A and B are shown apart, each in its own frame.
Chain A
Amino acid sequence: MDIFTSLNISASALKAQRVRLDTISSNMANAETTRTPEGGPYRRKMVVFEPAQVSFADHLSAKEKKAVSGVQVSQILTENSEPRLIFDPSHPDANAQGYVALPNIDLLKETTDMMLATRAYEANITTIKSAKRMALKALEIGK
């Protein structure tokens, strides 16, 4: 049934928005993390989206002939922004001048990003509902 192409595309978008929300919650949770295994403070992460790769099975079944494609997370980038320095000599991670390097994470920006991710998720859910409604209406032709 061809309705499931539309559903699968929206499902890939839902998964991508979930990954985005995971990244945002990781950023928010680590907003005060001063030490990481790689050394230095936590660096802000962001997701990069790209059109979904057509799998080999889809190549065989000629699904690639359609111009539509879903979305996938190509990579989770680590931003290279400068950490902000706070003067606190009593902190265990303070450097020689008494400055602590804290991650450069703006909670307001993360909150806005979270709202965008939520709205995108809801928009895709609406698409799924519309596709389902179309399919059910088509079944009413026979009634």
Chain B
Amino acid sequence: MKDISIDTHLKSMMPKLSFEQQKPQSGFADMLTQAIDQTNTAQLNANSAVTDLVTGKADNLHEVMLSMEEADVSMRMLVQIRNKVVDAYKEIIQMQV
């Protein structure tokens, strides 16, 4: 059993390196969480921009429209990501064991 040399023995005694334990989360879950946060922020901004416009505090109409567009595009992207996640889930569920 000559393959158990001294350095393999030493390596097995070293503490487990920390990066092995922080496995990255599933890519889809991460993206979905980020998209939800971004969409939420965009929606809140759009809401407050419209409130400012209605109460007369907004200087520029186009800023309100742009924040609404940002919320719209974020929401559509969230829907697309959700579609992909659901498709991936369905594929996996349909695998025969």
Contact = CB atoms under 8 A, between A and B. Distances in A.
Size class of the contact patch on chain A = 10 to 19
Interface residues of B, number: 14
A128 B63 CA distance: 12
Given A14-B60, A142-B83, A142-B84, A7 B69 contact: yes
A21 to B, nearest CB: 12
Interface string B39-76: 00000000000000000000010110010011001101
A14 B64 CA distance: 12
Contact of B60 (A18, A135, A143): A18
Contacts of A18: 60
B66 A128 contact: yes
B77 A11 contact: no
A1 B35 CA distance: 11
A11 B59 CA distance: 13
B37 to A, nearest CB: 13
Interface of B: 38, 60, 62-63, 66, 69-70, 73-74, 76-77, 80, 83-84
